[in-house]
Structure formats: structure tokens, C-alpha cells
Structure 1
Amino acid sequence: MTRFDYGPLDFYAIAFDGDTPGPGVLKAIDDLVASGTVNLCDLVFARRTADGELTVMELSDTADAGGVPALDLAGLAGMEDIELLTEQIPPGRSAAILVVELLWAKAFAAALYDAGGMVIARHGIPAPIVNGFLAEHDTEEG
């Protein structure tokens, strides 16, 4: 069986008020890493100034990472990725750009590869949208 060094990677942009995420955001990331669900490969903070300028800070450039685990692939999120993921950040807001390896999908990807297949498309639906849709349709049927 094929053994991949890394599983599939997902890029996430998490918006928040202020210059840095609160401790709850960092704890949520840390919990996912500690549980073995994901591997944090890269983490970047981006801020849109009041005049619309985007400033970017790599976690690896900071003196204090605030307890966030070491990054396996620091620098993986390039400027093109960051600009695309932060297009919708309004002036005065910030975002954390996470690149996570989906550890649960690593063996699945290898098995698909060995069977001559691979995932060629993936589309995610954010949890608030899923739950809102289901709640709306549950009340319509009930």
C-alpha cells in the first residue's frame, strides 16, 4: 500500500475583530492538533487597514506564538493564496489563514491512489449554513 508523507491539505480563512485572534480561536486550533484530527502546517495572520491595505504576518515571524504548535510547512501559504482568501475581509478586520493537513484522510487518499482513483473535486459548506438550512427545513416539516 502506498504511504503518503502528507494527507490532503485545506486552507481556511477565519475572520475576527482586532489584530489577533482571541485565545478561544488558538485553543480550538490546538485542540484539533492535540486530538490528532489535523496537523497545522502553516498559520498566517492578515489584517486589512482602514484604507484597505493588507498587511501579513507569518506565525513563524513572531517572537511569541502563543502556545500554537510548531508548523510543519511554514511558508506554504503564498501571497496569492493569502490575497484570495482575504478578499472579503472588510477594512479594520483581520483573519487567520490556516493550512491544515487532514490526518483522517491520509490513509483514505493512499487507498484511493492504490485503487487507481483520486479525489478531483471537493466543496465544503460552512457549519453555520448547514445548521441554518437544516433548522429552517426542520421547522417547515414539523
Structure 2
Amino acid sequence: MTNFDYGPIEFYAIGFDGDRPGPAVLQAIDDLVAAGTVNVLDLVFVRRSPEGELEILELSDTTDDGGVPALDLAGLAGEDDILFLADNVEPGSSAAILVVELLWAKAFSSALYNAGGAVIAREAIPAPIVNAFLAENAD
């Protein structure tokens, strides 16, 4: 029987107006870690100047961690991943590139694998879209 060391991972680009996210964002990430929902594997900040130049700031390059959770696999988000995810960062704004392991899905992934199954497709729908749709179609 196979037990995976890591569960599935997801990459997120979380956009913000201005040059950096506020402390509430880091607290929300920390809360997910504390609840055992996710494991933060990597976290990178990007910001695009008003002129359109992209700056990439690895968490390890910061002098003050600002309460950011410890990273399990810092550097997992490669430059190509970061550039792809940062493509939609508008001039004068920023984003956190977050790579998380879905701890809730770790045992499920092992069970699927052991049963000869595999996830062959997945589609994510952002929460604002789900909530807007449900509100619009509520009885």
C-alpha cells in the first residue's frame, strides 16, 4: 500500500492593489496552516511598477518575515511558474504567488492510487463567482 509524502498541490496568484498584501492575508494563510487544511510549500511576492516592470521577491530575500509561516519546499515555484502566474498583475499592483499542499486530499490521493484510480481532470471555480451565481439564482 502506498502512502504519499505529499498530497496534491495548488498554485495561486492572489492579486492586490498597491505594492504588497496586508498582514490580514498572511494571517489568513497562517490560519489555514494552523487548522491543518494546507501546508505552505512556497510563497513569492511579485509587484509590477506603474511602468510595467515586474519585480520578484522571494520570501527568503526579505529581512522581516512579517509573521509568514515557515515554508516546506521554498523554491518550488520556478521562474516560469512565477512569470506565468504574474502575467495578469496590472501595473501598480502586486500578487502573492502561493504554493500549498492540500492536506485534506493527501489520504484521498493515496486511496485513489492504491485502488488504481487517478484524478484525470479538475476545474476550480473562484468563490466570488460561486457566491454571485448562488445569490442570483436563490429562490
Question: Fold-level match, TM-score > 0.5?
Answer: yes
Aligned length: 139
Q: Distance in 2 between matches of 1:69 and 1:26?
A: 8
Correspondence 1:68-107 to 2 at 5 A: 68-107=68-107
Q: Distance in 1 between matches of 2:132 and 2:29?
A: 24
Correspondence 1:1-142 to 2 at 5 A: 1-138=1-138, 142=139
Q: Distance in 1 between matches of 2:36 and 2:2?
A: 21
Secondary structure class of the residue paired with 2:88: coil
Tell me the TM-score normalised to structure 2 length.
Answer: 0.96
Unaligned runs of 5+ in 1: none
Residue type of the partner of 1:81? D
Q: Deviation at 1:18? A: 2.0
Q: Deviation at 1:54? A: 0.9
Tell me the TM-score normalised to structure 1 length.
Answer: 0.94
Unaligned runs of 5+ in 2: none
Q: Which ranges of 4 or more aligned residues in structure 1 deviate by more than 4 Å? A: none
Q: Distance in 1 between matches of 2:61 and 2:121?
A: 33
Residue type of the partner of 1:38? V
